[in-house]
Amino acid sequence: MTQKVRVAIAGLGFGSEFVPIYQAHPDAELVAVCQRTEAALNETADRFGVAGRYTDFAAMLEDPDIDAVHINTPIPDHANHTISALRAGKHVACTVPMATTLDECRSIVAAVRESGKKYMMMETVVYSREFLHVKDLVENGTLGRIQFLRGAHHQEMAGWPGYWEGLPPMHYATHAVSPVLSLAGALAESVVCLGSGRISPELTAKYGSPFAVESALITVRNSPVGAEIARSLFETAREYVESFTVFGEHATFEWEQTQGAGHVLHVGEIPKPVEIPDFAHRLPPQIAPFTTRGVYDDENEHLSFIQGSGHGGSHPHLAHEFVRSIVEDRAPAIDEVTAANWTSVGICAHESAMNGGTRVAIPDYTS
């Protein structure tokens, strides 16, 4: 491509974090934003000087000046909005998870292939500075052979939008699943999951899921390495944490278990504190500052900064990968097959938990 990628953002809660990134990206132009509530739409559009404004997602897709849509709408809308955008001839980036059912995952994969457009799931953890550092440790041989992987995501979702209430923990598992499968370098093959504890009847009634915690064991395709995932969303006392641990032949990386405690690299049997560098130097200079700051001031921070330190500086890396995949006409790093596999791990894990821990095969989306 010789012209800039013309991007629209749908959903302006978390989505607002990406507005100035696309505006500053040398290969992108932010041409429109979409939000159902007109007052909120105008507040954000006025703040950032965005001319294109839509309260209706379908109407936005009719705009011929939009090349790509970044979807940050509620989880139940992800599949429908993604498929509609692809069929309208738009490239799609979508926040996690890809979908809420296996059939939706299959439909998105089919829509990507039918449209010929790019799809990327915007999973933050695999572009966090922690992940990028550990990936370097794997590739340069510091860890040696990977022997086991563990991912966890514990978060109290009280106070978040109502559609979260009672959500099965594993239906929002990609923050825990993605780093372990990425470091294993393979897709998941099957999963066994245990549901533990109980949440209140009022929360259970929303989705029919009774569990406070779900923990799963994943078999990895064509690999001797296994992985363990743990998730909780409601009525489980724990400081917020998205984390992963990599057990290696020579060294093991362990994510800090309380914020500020520090990450640890166990070299042999000796634990050593490890400093995590920033990776802004891998980005165009125009968007590099966004690895360490968001768009909100200290009095109006988004919850991703209050609870999660801005997802480890991942936001500009995600936008850059999506834009460059379009410019270079290649599959993005988290394409439709990868996204469907990572999302399906959680869906299948919850199915396993609801059936007493039976093994569930992950669908093959490659064919």
Domain CATH for 117: 3.40.50.720
pLDDT per position as a tens digit, 217-227: 999 999 999 99
Dihedral (CA of 218, 221, 226, 228) sign: negative
* pLDDT at residue 367, as a whole number: 80
Cα–Cα distance measured from residue 310 to residue 124, given in angstroms and rounded to the nearest whole number: 9
More confident residue, 21 or 302: 21
Number of structural domains found in the chain: 2
* pLDDT at residue 265, as a whole number: 98
Section 244-254 average pLDDT: 98
Structural domain contains residue 191 = yes
Structural domain contains residue 303 = no
Scanning the chain, the segments in alpha helix (DSSP H) are: 19-24, 38-48, 57-61, 78-87, 102-115, 129-139, 174-184, 201-207, 303-306, 315-327, 336-354
Q: Are residues 179 and 113 in the same domain?
A: no
Strand order in the sheet with 146-154: 270-273, 264-267, 251-254, 241-248, 146-154, 226-232, 213-220, 188-196, 360-361
| Residue-averaged pLDDT of the chain | 94
CA atoms within 13 A on the CB side of 268: 1
Domain CATH for 209: 3.30.360.10
Percent of the chain with pLDDT over 90: 91
Alpha carbon 162 to its chain centroid, in Å, reads 20
Residue that has been written with the tokens 């990609």 in this structure: 174
Q: Are residues 356 and 229 in the same domain?
A: yes
Domain housing 349: 125-281+344-361
* pLDDT at residue 294, as a whole number: 62
Secondary element (H or E) of residue 31 = strand 28-34
**Cβ atoms 214, 231 nearer than 8 A:** yes
- Residue 155 in this model has a pLDDT that exceeds 90: yes
Q: Which of 2-16, 100-114, 116-130 is predicted least confidently?
A: 2-16
**Cβ atoms 61, 85 nearer than 8 A:** yes
Secondary element (H or E) of residue 91 = strand 91-94
pLDDT per position as a tens digit, 175-211: 999 999 999 999 999 999 999 999 999 999 999 999 9
* pLDDT at residue 304, as a whole number: 47
Q: Are residues 171 and 107 in the same domain?
A: no
- Residue 302 in this model has a pLDDT that exceeds 60: no
Sequence-distant (≥ 6) Cβ neighbours of residue 43 within 8 angstroms: none
Diameter of the chain by CA atoms?
60
* pLDDT at residue 299, as a whole number: 47
Q: Are residues 152 and 40 in the same domain?
A: no
Q: Are residues 234 and 175 in the same domain?
A: yes
Q: Are residues 190 and 175 in the same domain?
A: yes
Section 246-265 average pLDDT: 96
Q: Are residues 141 and 268 in the same domain?
A: yes
pLDDT per position as a tens digit, 9-51: 999 999 999 999 999 999 999 999 999 999 999 999 999 999 9
- Residue 297 in this model has a pLDDT that exceeds 60: no
Structural domain contains residue 228 = yes
- Residue 309 in this model has a pLDDT that exceeds 70: no
Q: Are residues 9 and 75 in the same domain?
A: yes
* pLDDT at residue 300, as a whole number: 45
Structural domain contains residue 174 = yes
**Cβ atoms 120, 322 nearer than 8 A:** yes
pLDDT band at residue 307, thresholds of 50, 70 and 90?
very low
* pLDDT at residue 45, as a whole number: 97
Q: Are residues 180 and 264 in the same domain?
A: yes
- Residue 154 in this model has a pLDDT that exceeds 90: yes
Helix/strand/coil for 283: coil
Q: Are residues 150 and 25 in the same domain?
A: no
Q: Are residues 262 and 356 in the same domain?
A: yes
Q: Are residues 79 and 194 in the same domain?
A: no
Structural domain contains residue 179 = yes
Plot region of 49 (φ>0 → left; ψ -120 to 50 → alpha; else → beta): left
Structural domain contains residue 337 = no
Predicted TM-score (pTM) of this structure: 0.95
- Using alpha carbons only, how large is the chain's radius of gyration in Å? 20
Structural domain contains residue 294 = no
Residue that has been written with the tokens 């590739």 in this structure: 139
Nearest Cα residue to 174 out of 332, 334, 5: 334
Structural domain contains residue 190 = yes
